[in-house]
Amino acid sequence: MTKDNTFVNIFKGVFSGALGFISAYALIGLFSLTFVGIGLYLINTYNKKDTKLLKDIQPMQYLGIVFCIIGCLPFAQYFFIGFLSEGGQIAMDNLMNN
């Protein structure tokens, strides 16, 4: 009965597509959470006593900073999209107003 039903087949396709989309974003979030968590752990663990965080950086803290940057990489596209679109608007406004 369900093999010939068009609406059930459409529902299955949409449901599997949405589930795949959500699982991809969940994996990106897990990737980011893992790398940023490791980075923050390294930064906090190897901080010198009685100093502010990242004031006197130790070698392992540099590795923690690298891990934090790697964890933020999946979201860097949104920064560049926003930054470049605003920069393009300002450039166009300057071209038209002069």
Mean pLDDT of 30-45: 96
pLDDT band for position 26 (cuts 50, 70, 90): very high
Residue type, 48: K
For the ranges 5-9, 10-14, 34-38, the maximum mean pLDDT occurs at: 34-38
pLDDT given at position 8:
86
- With vertex at residue 89, the alpha carbon angle to CA 86 and CA 94, rounded to the nearest 5 degrees, is 130
Q: Given pLDDT bands bounded at 50, 70 and 90, which one contains residue 34?
A: very high
Mean pLDDT of 9-16: 91
Please state, rounded to an integer, the average pLDDT across all residues of the chain. Answer: 90
Band the pLDDT of 85: cuts 50, 70, 90.
Answer: confident
